[in-house]
């Protein structure tokens, strides 16, 4: 049944994405917020199909942040990006620059106001990111970043990159860590039945030293994520039982 549900969801995802991307082309010449709202509508449509076709729902814990704040989230699957676009109002996501070159998808995310970085550029990439981030903060928008820079499997050893600390220091805004367990249920093509949890954790105030910030960020995210993974294992274990 898991394979069949995953296949049906894959077809649904493809059809909805193509139809919405084509129908929304005129928004590319409209004010930026038009594209933002379309992106949120697309995320809601995908999550509707995930729930009713793949039997995979989600739960939000903690307080969803608003305004100029840095949101640092665990990253396990594509689900995470969709969730942040949907839950955070007019969020600016820090992404790999190469994603901007993807037809349709890249056009929309670029128009929505993301920050695209070249991870191979080193210090110059950080300077560029800082300049863009300051403009986003001045506009009162939240910034979302995945501190590990890429997707990781549930339970994998953490590998936090320094970019998040640089962004935290240069913008001077507080940080909200985010834990989740999406990778247990959204595994590439396979979508498993259950409930994904995304948890907005207590805020880390602005102004901490780099080492103290990174320590607090990793400890909070990893501790909470490990707890969610254990609960996810219990869900999946009950299904097998």
- Is 241 a residue whose pLDDT tops 60? no
Note the pLDDT tens digit of each residue in 88-116.
999 999 988 888 888 888 888 889 888 88
Note the pLDDT of residue 101. 81
The pLDDT, as a whole number, for residue 120 is 65
Taking 60 as the threshold, does the pLDDT of residue 191 lie above it? yes
Q: How far is CA 112 from the centre of its chain?
A: 15
Q: Do 90 and 33 form a contact (C-beta atoms < 8 A)?
A: yes
- What pLDDT score was predicted for residue 121? 60
Note the pLDDT of residue 66: 93
What's the whole-number average pLDDT of the chain? 92
Contact 160, 218 (CB under 8 A): yes
Superfamily classification of domain 58-240: Glycerol-3-phosphate (1)-acyltransferase (3.40.1130.10)
- For the segment 109-146, what is each residue's pLDDT rounded down to a tens digit? 889 888 887 766 666 667 777 788 889 999 999 999 99
Give me the residues paired with residue 71 across strands.
144, 176
Residue ranges of the domains in the chain? 58-240
Identify the pLDDT of residue 53.
98
DSSP letters of the chain? Answer: -HHHHHHHHHHHHHHHHHHHHHHTGGGGGS-HHHHHHHHHHHHHHHHHHHHHTS-EEEEEEEPPP-SS-EEEE---SHHHHHHHHHHSTT-EEEEEGGGGGSTTHHHHHHHHT-EEE-GGGTHHHHHHHHHHHHHHHHTT--EEE-TTSS---TTPPP---THHHHHHHHHT--EEEEEE-GGGTEETTEE-SEEEEEEEPPPBPTT--HHHHHHHHHHHHHHHHHHHHHHHHHHHHHHH-
Q: What is the mean pLDDT of residues 216-222?
A: 98
Please state, as a whole number, how many other Cβ atoms lie within 10 Å of the Cβ of residue 204: 19
Extract the tokens encoding 70.
Answer: 């840095």
First to last CA, the chain: 15
pLDDT above 90 for 197: yes
What's the rounded mean pLDDT across residues 178-186?
A: 98
pLDDT at position 182: 98
Q: How far apart are CA 217 and CA 160, in angstroms?
A: 9
Residue 218 has a pLDDT of 98
Chain segment 7-55, per-residue pLDDT in tens: 999 999 999 999 999 999 999 999 999 999 999 999 999 999 999 999 9
Residue 232, pLDDT > 80, answer yes
pLDDT of residue 109: 87
* pLDDT score recorded for residue 146: 96
Q: What average pLDDT score do residues 152-174 get?
A: 93
């Amino acid at each position: 049944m898991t394979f069949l549900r995953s296949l049906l969801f894959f077809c649904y995802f493809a059809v909805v994405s193509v139809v919405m991307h084509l129908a929304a082309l005129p928004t590319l010449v409209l004010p930026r917020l038009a594209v933002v709202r379309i992106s949120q509508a697309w995320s809601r449509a995908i999550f509707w199909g995930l729930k009713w076709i793949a039997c995979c729902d989600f739960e939000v814990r903690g307080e969803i942040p608003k305004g100029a704040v840095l949101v640092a989230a665990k990253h396990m699957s594509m689900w995470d990006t969709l969730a942040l676009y949907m839950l955070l109002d007019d969020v600016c996501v820090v992404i790999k620059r190469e994603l901007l070159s993807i037809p349709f998808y890249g056009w929309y995310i670029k128009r929505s106001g993301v920050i695209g970085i070249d991870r191979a550029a080193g210090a110059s990439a950080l300077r560029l990111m800082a300049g863009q981030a300051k403009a986003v903060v001045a506009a009162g928008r939240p910034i979302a970043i995945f501190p590990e820079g890429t997707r990781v499997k549930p339970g994998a050893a953490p590998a936090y990159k320094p970019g998040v600390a640089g962004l935290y220091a240069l913008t001077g805004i507080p940080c909200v860590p985010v834990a989740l367990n999406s990778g247990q249920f959204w595994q590439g093509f396979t979508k498993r039945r259950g409930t994904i949890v995304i948890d907005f954790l207590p805020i880390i105030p602005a102004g901490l030293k780099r080492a103290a910030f990174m320590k607090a960020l990793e400890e909070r995210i990893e501790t909470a994520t490990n707890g969610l993974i254990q609960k996810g294992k219990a869900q999946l274990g009950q299904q097998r039982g």
